[in-house]
């Protein structure tokens, strides 16, 4: 999801000289969605706070778009922004969360890494950027809609690892080493400090948002707490309260 750590994770992986990420796309973000016309972008599917509700965004191997022509069009659109001499080519569009089966059909050797972040931190980060005016309860509903669709797809993905943003920033070098081994890369250290307390600040903003925000918090807890437990999160804590279960393919130890 947007503001779940995809930029940080991409930069960490791209420290390897064996990896080329998309670069030079433009002022929005170096995401492949913005230079292709095969499938709907997040904005075309309703925007950052609504795209998971759109039938145009969840694509699988059964989609009419899953063709050799689509593969060739995506390659033509993306390849000018990669260093094609690199053995690993990296693309980070957040809504790929709902297109893994489709992309695997087009590019069978693909590896997929899903990074999941607490929905309160993700929602407050989105609101902090001014990307959505929706109440937090609506953003949490969208987070769950997206991740529940993702869960339907996980068993169909051949090379997949799911990790949490909170675990990554608390133990970055160890997890980066696991990611690099998952991708068949030689180890390269992160070489920078990470902010492991950033979720705490977002939670404080959520909890101190005033009377109207208090009503929204009550509604959020009542409606979504049980569903959130599937992902090891709770609205009582900015950090995971349980490990990811075995239904989430993990990184190598």
pLDDT tens column, 20-65: 999 998 766 789 999 999 999 999 999 999 999 999 999 999 999 9
Question: What does the block give as tokens for 5?
Answer: 């750590």
- pLDDT of 163 > 90? The answer is yes
**Is 211 inside any structural domain?**
yes
Q: What's the whole-model pTM score?
A: 0.93
**Is 71 inside any structural domain?**
yes
**Is 38 inside any structural domain?**
yes
Q: Say how many domains are in the chain.
A: 1
Query: Cβ-count burial of 231 within 10 angstroms (0-12 exposed, 13-18 middle, 19+ buried)?
Result: buried
Question: What does the block give as tokens for 113?
Answer: 């890494």
Residue 198: per-residue pLDDT: 84
Query: Cβ-count burial of 110 within 10 angstroms (0-12 exposed, 13-18 middle, 19+ buried)?
Result: middle
pLDDT tens column, 203-214: 998 888 765 677
Name the packing angle between helices 136-153 and 119-128 (round to 10°).
Answer: 120
**Is 125 inside any structural domain?**
yes
Residue 212: per-residue pLDDT: 63
**Is 79 inside any structural domain?**
yes
User: What's the CATH number where 164 sits?
Assistant: 3.40.50
Is there a contact between 115 and 165 (Cβ–Cβ < 8 Å)? yes
Which residue range forms the structural domain that includes residue 68?
Answer: 6-231
* Helix residue spans in 37-171 (DSSP H): 68-78, 100-106, 119-128, 136-153, 165-170
**Is 85 inside any structural domain?**
yes
Q: Are strands 88-90 and 112-116 parallel, antiparallel or unpaired?
A: unpaired
pLDDT tens column, 96-120: 999 999 999 999 999 999 999 999 9
HSE at residue 42, side-chain half, CA atoms within 13 A, is 23
Residue 17: per-residue pLDDT: 94
pLDDT tens column, 174-203: 899 999 999 999 988 877 777 778 899 999
**Is 251 inside any structural domain?**
no
**What average pLDDT score do residues 220-227 get?**
91
pLDDT tens column, 224-242: 999 999 999 999 999 999 9
**Is 77 inside any structural domain?**
yes
């Amino acid at each position: 999801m947007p503001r779940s750590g995809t930029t940080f994770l991409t930069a960490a992986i791209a420290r390897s000289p064996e990896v080329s990420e998309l670069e030079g796309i433009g002022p929005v973000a170096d995401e492949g969605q913005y230079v292709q016309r095969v499938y709907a972008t997040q904005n075309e599917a309703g925007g950052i706070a609504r795209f998971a509700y759109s039938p145009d965004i969840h694509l699988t191997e059964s989609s009419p778009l899953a063709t050799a022509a689509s593969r060739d069009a995506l390659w033509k659109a993306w390849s000018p922004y990669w260093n094609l001499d690199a053995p690993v080519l990296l693309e980070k569009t957040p809504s790929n969360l709902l297109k893994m089966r489709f992309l695997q059909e087009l590019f069978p050797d693909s590896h997929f890494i899903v990074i999941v972040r607490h929905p309160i931190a993700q929602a407050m980060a989105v609101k902090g950027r001014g990307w959505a005016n929706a109440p937090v309860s609506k953003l949490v509903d969208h987070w769950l809609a997206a991740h529940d669709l993702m869960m339907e797809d996980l068993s169909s993905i051949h090379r997949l690892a799911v990790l949490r943003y909170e675990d990554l920033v608390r133990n970055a070098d160890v997890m980066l080493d696991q990611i690099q081994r998952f991708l068949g890369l030689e180890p390269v250290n992160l070489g920078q400090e990470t902010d492991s307390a950033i979720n705490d600040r977002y939670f404080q903003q959520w909890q101190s948002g005033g009377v109207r925000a208090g009503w929204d918090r009550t509604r959020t807890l009542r409606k979504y707490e049980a569903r959130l437990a599937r992902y090891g999160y709770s609205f009582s804590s900015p950090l995971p309260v349980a490990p990811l279960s075995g239904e989430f393919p993990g990184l190598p130890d």
